[in-house]
Structures are given as structure tokens and as C-alpha cells.
Structure 1
Amino acid sequence: MPRYSVTSITDPRVAPYAQLHQTNLTRGSGLFVAEGDKVVQRLIDSDYVVDSLLAEAEWAERLEPQVPAETPIYIVERALMTELVGFRFHRGVLGCGRRKETPTLAEILPANHEPALVLVCPAVQDPTNLGSIIRTAAAMGANALLLGGDCADAFSRRVLRVSMGSSLFLPIREAADLVGDVVALRETYGFEVLATVLDKNATPLDQVARPRRLALVLGSEGHGLDERWLQLCPQQITLPMRAGIDSLNVSIAAAVFLYHFRR
């Protein structure tokens, strides 16, 4: 297995790890970075290709038997690792994985006769919120997550860290036409589509039974669901709250909805 000692932050072999707080490897790079031992372990355990590891010697020794023989491991001292990634880093290891092509609806949905729960996020822009939603969706048994183009990158370093690597195991589709996907869920795949809203006229959650095949649509952090989505999703549900409380954080609301519908 190739192991290389890295002594300079300008070494081109470790360029994917450079200044992560600024670059964060955008969607078009074909790569993503997993940060810390737990998320790197989940990357290794997943079916994503591990492009390389960047590790202190102790972690390199520990992880070497778990990755394919051709996977390069770049060994660095902690001070150099901190200088390379651009922030104080104490977790000893990072991993670089290769992104996959986004799956089709047919590839991520259970067969038509099977129960299913799909979460739909048109515009969750905060990486922390999206990471929390992904982790909760995986924990509550969601089958898939559909993301619109205005969402944060599900494979950014921060989302992966907050989700504790759940992005690597929950099927995620970044849809070029999310409206078209939701229409297909309803008309082709037999889903009931429920929109989550802040509206006293919407149906309270505790009065809503779990449909056999459910697509649950979450709004953005600042503005909820716009009129286009409200017209597309006439079945609307809400979390009743005390007067004077505007709303819950979208990731907290998602957890409540998913817990209710987990069965």
C-alpha cells in the first residue's frame, strides 16, 4: 500500500485537503472530504471509493488494513495538517472520497407495493440544518432524500460531519427538476405528498395518519414553502405551537415530523 510522508502544504497530492474552510470542494469537483475518525470510518465502510487518506502516523497504521491496497495514505504531522486544512484540527485523519452520479428516482425508491417515506427539501441552505436532517432521516428509517438546487451540498465537509456520515448511506438525489420529481412521486409511484407549513388552517400533525407511501416536503429556513409548492401540495400539515412562537428550526421540525411518521 502506498504511504507517503508529506512535508509541505503545497504538495499537489494533498490539494483536495487544502484550506477546507474556504474551498469545501464544490459539487463539480467529483470529490468530497470526510473529517475525523468516525466519519472517515463510515466512508471506509460505505460503497464510495476512498480516493486517499490524510493522517497522522498513528491513524495511518490503524486504518491501512481497512482500505484497498492501491489507496494512497499521506502521512503528516499535526501542525502541518492544521496549516494545510486551514483550521485547528485535532481528529488525526481526513479522507477524500469520490462522488457518484446522482441516482434516478427508480433507483432509490422501494418497489411500488412497498411502504416508503421520502423527505423532500427544496431549499434547505444551511449546512448544519441539512446535516441534522440527513442524520435524523437515516435514524428514523426514511428511504430517500430529494434535494432541490438551492440546498446546501449534501457531501460538503460540514454536512458530512454534522450528519456523522449518514449522507454516505441514505440515498440522496439532487434533482435538476424537483417539482417534476414530486409530481412523479405522486402520479407514477403512488405517494401522498404532504407539505409542512406554518398555518393554523393546516391539519395538525397529531391528526394525520401515516400514508403507506409518503413524501414529506420541508420548507426553507427563512421563508418556508413558496406559493408554487403550496399549490403543488394541497395536503398541508403543521405543528401546533404556543402563541408568540414563530416556528421551530427546520431540522428540529423535521425530527418531530419524522418521529411521528416513523411507523
Structure 2
Amino acid sequence: MDIETINSVNDKRLEQFRYVVRRGENDDTRFVVEGWEPVQRLVRWAREHERYQVDCVLCEQGWEDRCRDILQGLSHVNLYTASQEVFEGMMGYRFSRGCMAYGSVVRPYDFDDLGEKEFLLVCEHVENEENLGVMIRTAKAMGVGGVLLGGKGVSAYARRVIRVSMGNVFGLPVVRSTNFLKDIKRIKQKGHVVLGADVSGRAIDVARFEGRVNQKGIVLVMGNEPNGLSDEVRGLCDEMVIVPIDENADSLNVGVAAGILMYELRDKK
């Protein structure tokens, strides 16, 4: 594999690495991945699932051999190298993560890909990229089978979501719902228990939830931090659950709360 050297921050080949999903956009087709570990995950899952295409990789000087090794057999990928000065001029800060990649989603997941997964995470209108990234990374670690996104929340392929998730967004089905309420109903019809994260008086301590007879799985539904779940989504939940906290604290970050809830529920599915 040939390696091309980029010597100027004004080189047009850098434009794709500057790509950013703007706030309010839901571009689930293109992405930029930053860092050695996330890029490795992208390349591995691109090979295994053929849902993603790696178009090009830009590496720091000294990382050429490592990047060339993981890209073996991917003849369509352009591999570039640049100095730290070029990286810093492009990024606006000192970049020390080794490499970055630009790619695209060639075969998006859809609702049917959630299939008969026993444990699902559903996110309604999550607007904060770091929160979504944390939840996706934790979902992968807790054995969640897929993630359903609803509302006008951020794209799962925003570069900060990918960075915070450490590239785990590529390792499990993440589906952008086109009819959120209908999709939750369809999951319920499969026999899943739908649990909403809520701080209202009707919520029970998640540790007290023991599952239901003949349940086919569990769906955990998280809202966004300012507003929580909508009334429509609350109405579809079988039970509301909560993480008890100290009386002197008023709340948990939604990403942290989701992690605790997933941990508590993973063996009850």
C-alpha cells in the first residue's frame, strides 16, 4: 500500500478530515473517526459486517507501519501521513491519537436488524453528543443487543459521539427510528418489557425490578437531560425505574444513570 505525504495544512486532501455534522443535522452516512483504538474498531467491523466503508486514513509520522498493517487487503483505502504541525494546524490543537479515518455508512442498520435481541437501549431526543457516546460505549460493554434512537437527537456518527464511544458505535446495531412510537410498540409486541428511566413518584428502585413471567427481553428507555421522557413515551412504558441517590443530590447525568441501569438490568433480561 502506497503512503502519500501531506505537507501543507491547505492541502485539499485534508478537507474530508475536517467534516463535522452540524448541530441539528442527522447525517448518518459520513463520519470521521479520531484515534488509534476507534480506527482499529472501524476497520475490523468494516471487514466483518461490510456495513461501513473506510475511504482514507491520515496518520501521524511514525504511525505509518501500524496503519498499513491494519489496512492490509483494503486496496481502495488511501493512506496519508502528515507531521504534527500539519495535524495541529488542521485541528486547532495538539493531536496525539496516532491517526484518524474518514468513511461512510454503506448499509445502514434498520429496525429489523434489532431482531430478537433480548436487551435493547432506546434513546429519545438525546441532544448531547458526549452523553450519547457514553451510553453507546456502556451499552456495548453491558451486552446490549442494539440501540434505537428517536426524536431529533444528535447523530450516532457525529465525530464526538464516535470518539467518546471509543468507536463502539460500529460494533452494535444503532438504528435511527423513522416512527419512534410505532417502533416501541412493535418491540412491546415481541414480548419485551419496556422500562422508562424517570424521577417521578411512580418510578421504582431498579434493583427491585425482578422481571416478568414470559418476558422476551428488556428495553431501557432514556430521555434527554433537560426534559426526560415525553408523555407519549411514558405512556408506552410498562414500568418506570430510577437509580436512588443521596438526598442531598438532585440528579445524575443521563449517561451515568444509563450505565447504572444497564448494569442492574443485564442479568434480568
What's the TM-score, normalizing by structure 1?
0.89
Residue in structure 2 matched with residue 11 of structure 1 by the alignment:
11
Confirm whether residue 37 of structure 1 aligns to residue 36 of structure 2: yes
Structure 1 distance, partners of 2:87, 2:131, is 27
**CA separation of 1:214/1:234 partners in 2, compared to 1, >3 Å: closer, same or farther?**
closer
* 2:122 corresponds to 1:116: no
1:134-213 pair list within 5 angstroms: 134-187=136-189, 189-210=190-211, 211-213=215-217
Give the SS at the match of 2:63.
helix
Contact 1:193–1:235 (CA under 8 A) maintained in structure 2: yes
Measured after TM superposition, the shift of residue 141 of structure 1 is 0.2
Q: Are the aligned partners of 2:5 and 2:82 in contact in 1 as well (CA < 8 Å)?
A: yes
1:1-263 matched pairs, under 5 angstroms: 1-18=1-18, 27-28=26-27, 30-47=29-46, 48-67=52-71, 68-110=74-116, 116-187=118-189, 189-210=190-211, 211-263=215-267
Measure, in 2, the Cα distance between the counterparts of 1:179 and 1:239: 25
Structure 2: runs of 5+ lacking an equivalent: 47-51
**Structure 2 length as normaliser, TM-score?**
0.88
Task: Give the CA deviation at 1:197.
Answer: 0.6
1:214 to partner: Cα distance: 1.0
Structural RMSD (CA):
2.1
Paired amino acid for 1:154: A
Range with bigger deviation, 54-63 or 118-127: 54-63
Partner deviation per Cα, 1:50-102 (whole Å, 9 max, x = no partner): 11001123212221132112311111111011112333212231111212443
1:234 CA displacement:
4.5
CA contact (8 A) 2:111 2:177 kept: no
Q: Tell me, in whole angstroms, the C-alpha distance in 2 between the residues paired with 1:235 and 1:177.
A: 22
| 2:181 aligned counterpart, secondary structure | helix
Q: 1:149 to 1:2 in 2, by over 3 A?
A: farther
Matched residue of 1:229: which SS? helix
- Worse-matched range after superposition: 29-38 or 171-180: 29-38
Structure 1: tracts of 5 or more residues without a match:
none
Q: How many residues align structurally?
A: 256
Name the CA distance, whole Å, in 2 between partners of 1:96 and 1:59.
17
- Fraction of identical pairs, as percent: 30
